[in-house]
Structure 1
Amino acid sequence: MTQNWGMTIPFSDRSPAESRDLIAELPGLGYTDVWSAEVNGADGFVPLALAAEWAPGVRLGTAIVPVSTRGPGLLAMSAATLADLAPGRFVLGIGASSPAIVERWNAGHFAKPYARTRDTLRFLRRALAGEKVSERYETFEVQGFKLERAPRVAPRIVLAALRPRMLRLAAEEADGAITNWLSPEDVRTVRAEIGQDTELIARLFVCVSEDAALVRETARRMLAAYLTVPVYAAFHDWLGRGEALRPMHEAWAAGDRRAAVKAIPDEVVDALVVHGDAATCRARIREYVAGGLTTPVLAPIPGGDVPIDQAVRDLAPEA
């Protein structure tokens, strides 16, 4: 596979509109991809639509949009629109997301996450190919949906996948897998579930700073917010960090958020967050690639020794 080198957009210190100049620099720096996210900031599609014009030639991907916060037809329409803006350059990343995002924030219903993701994938394959879909799936039913304008080039579809069952679905029915919060050594564990021919994408959180204590303080708060989500807790149990993270989980369950953050060991932070000077960070990213990661998607963390725009430049593969 061709080695990719991606960047998360929009950048954490500015709005999508304010990101224009830096996004336009990315191709010249050697970045091949830009990937959006969708949590409680920018939506997953608009930043990519902007980047399609600002950075011609780069691949555009969502990592990820949830399958339960939009209806199947609306998700197909959004994907088709972006696929038409950037024919052959758009990758639709979808995933189950979490109960907090789906239910508490979006008034949706988080149930049967594996089946809902599988059913959405199967529906999107047909809809984005221009078919009229009337189908009763396990988790929803669609009657007579057909895109008014199917994309000239249907987008590739990749799945957010953290454990063997979803990873195998990604390898067998999708065009790749997206994962998150893992070490270079963990990449080998994940790769073993999907084989060598499946694209593996991961967002890597990076802080260009030699102040390890400050980075760890910032990173612990991020990790506590993620690793206490049940799906991530199960992921790290599977990866073998259950005992190391047990004190964090116990403190969190007791309602002591401060103690939970403090309980995350340095070695876990250092395994899951890339930090150091720019050369050290680039070398660490290449360890992920050597372990089997096809597409590293960098997410610079603010608060390092250099501002975000300089970190983006310093972390480029051609720096």
Structure 2
Amino acid sequence: MDEVTTSTAGHGAPVKEAVGRYGLWSLGLRSEDPARRTEIAEAAAEIEELGYGAVWLGGSPGVTHAVPLLDATTRLTVATGILSIWDHEAADTARDFAAVESAHPGRFLLGLGVSHAKATERYHRPYSAMVGYLDALDAADVPAGRRVLAALGPKMLKLSHDRAAGSHPYLVTPEHTAQARDILGDGPLLAPELKVVLDTDPERARATARAYLSFYLQLPNYTDNFLRLGFTEDDIAGGGSDKLIDAVFAWGDEDRVRAYAEAFHAAGADHVALQVVDDDPQGSIPREAYRRLARLLG
């Protein structure tokens, strides 16, 4: 087993206060299209004004994807959710972190993950690879208190405690959040992602959710986690059972969505990163949905 040294840099109030209770998880806000820079900047400024504490940039972003949002805001925390360690060399990540930190002190959070075997040919011994990556970041003076890990299983959650400020689990339930909190203890940040479908029609909402979930049900990291949580192979088959859909998506009217988001806090989350799922392309920025969520969670 790899030796892991316990961080002395990362736990406690500052990062929790910075991200607040709610943030947004988005693929659209990490676009590389220069023509969309103004759109992204305007959306980021409104997100900050609406009171969200953080934006999590999806799709294995690099550190530099955070710059347009940071430039357009003054308080918003911008995080990678999640930077794949296979796609970005540690030296490059450390260099870019230093540049962003110099320009926007204390406002960038480095989210790291090991991705999936189906996503990269380099995937091998993911836990050991993450330990090595963290060692390289330590050597380059990237503070442990300014990074979080995508952690589903107990071993990676423990590493999130020992070598980072906490964890940002993706595609999880309140039950997983409670288990993660038990492993992390009280200090580290626990910031799960939660998918939201703002549709009150059960059949239509579940169909929207099921279409989005189908991709993730091809990835063993997620399906194995569902099985650990007590779901069955039948729940995972066919795009996901209603039981599974209802566990990993907040859908319905405002009261239902609010109650399920708050269930994550009751289970031990410090912050919940909300991802709006609808019928629009994944690269869109659903600003009206962000306004609705801000009103119902405010």
TM-score, normalisation: structure 1: 0.78
Larger Rg computed on CA atoms = 1
1:22 maps to 43
| Partner in structure 2 of residue 102 of structure 1 | 120
Gaps of 5+ in 2: 1-12
Q: Aligned pair in 2 of structure 1 residues 85, 277: CA closer, same or farther (>3 Å)?
A: farther
| Offset at residue 197 of structure 1 (A) | 1.4
Deviations 1:142-177 (A, max 9, x none): xxxxxxxxxxx8861111111001111111121111
Report the alpha carbon displacement of residue 120 of structure 1 after superposing the two structures with TM.
Answer: 0.5
Compute the displacement of 1:224 (Å): 2.4
Q: Deviations over 1:196-226 (max 9, x none)?
A: 2111111111111112211211211222211
Match of 2:5 in 1: none
1:287 paired with 2:263, answer yes
Which residue of the other structure, out of 131, 145, 159, is the alignment partner of 2:149? 159
The alignment-based identity, stated in percent, is: 28
CA contact (8 A) 2:27 2:59 kept: no
Render the CA deviation track for 1:11-53: whole Å, top value 9, x for unaligned.
37986522322211122211011111224xxx34344111111
Structure 2: how far apart are the matches of 1:110 and 1:25?
A: 38
Hey, what does 1:60 align to over in structure 2? 78
Structure showing the higher strand proportion among its residues: 1
Flag the structure with more relative contact order, 1 or 2, with Cα contacts below 8 A and sequence separation at least 6.
Answer: 2
The alignment partner of 2:106 has SS state of: coil
In structure 2, what is the equivalent of residue 70 of structure 1? 88
Q: Which residue type is aligned with residue 130 of structure 2? A: T
Confirm or deny: 8 A CA contact 1:92 1:155 kept in the other structure: no
**Closer/same/farther in 2, CA of residues 80 and 111 from structure 1, 3 Å limit:** same
Which residue of structure 2 lines up, in the alignment, with residue 278 of structure 1? 254
Deviation per CA, 1:49-80: give whole Å up to 9, x if none.
11111121111111110111122211212222
1:112 positional shift: 0.7
Contact 1:177 1:201 in 2 (8 A): yes
Unaligned runs of 5+ in 1: 104-108, 130-152, 249-259
Contact 1:91 1:156 in 2 (8 A): yes
Q: What residue number does 1:300 align with?
A: 276
| Counterpart amino acid of residue 288 in structure 2 | Q
The aligned length equals 272
SS at match of 2:140: helix
The residue that corresponds to 1:50 in the other structure is 68
State the partner residue of 1:311: 289
Whichever residue aligns with residue 105 of structure 2, its letter is P
Match of 2:21 in 1: 4
Name the amino acid aligned to 1:162. Answer: L
Give CA-to-partner distance per residue, 1:95-143, whole Å, 9 cap, x none: 111123222xxxxx111100101111121022035xxxxxxxxxxxxxx
Question: Which residue does the alignment assign to 2:196?
Answer: 206
Instruction: Write the distance in 2 (CA, Å) between the matches of 1:113 and 1:124.
Output: 16
TM-aligned CA deviation for residue 229 of structure 1: 0.7
Amino acid at match of 2:291: R
CA distance in 2, matches of 1:302, 1:84: 37
Partner amino acid for 2:247? A
Q: Does 1:115 align with 2:128?
A: yes
Describe the SS at the equivalent of 2:279: coil
Give the drift of 1:281.
Answer: 1.5
Show the counterpart of 2:206.
216
Is residue 227 of structure 1 aligned with residue 217 of structure 2? yes
Q: Distance in 2 between matches of 1:102 and 1:86?
A: 32
CA distance in 1, matches of 2:263, 2:199: 19
- For the aligned residue pairs, the C-alpha RMSD in angstroms reads 2.4
Which residue does 1:37 correspond to in 2?
Answer: 58
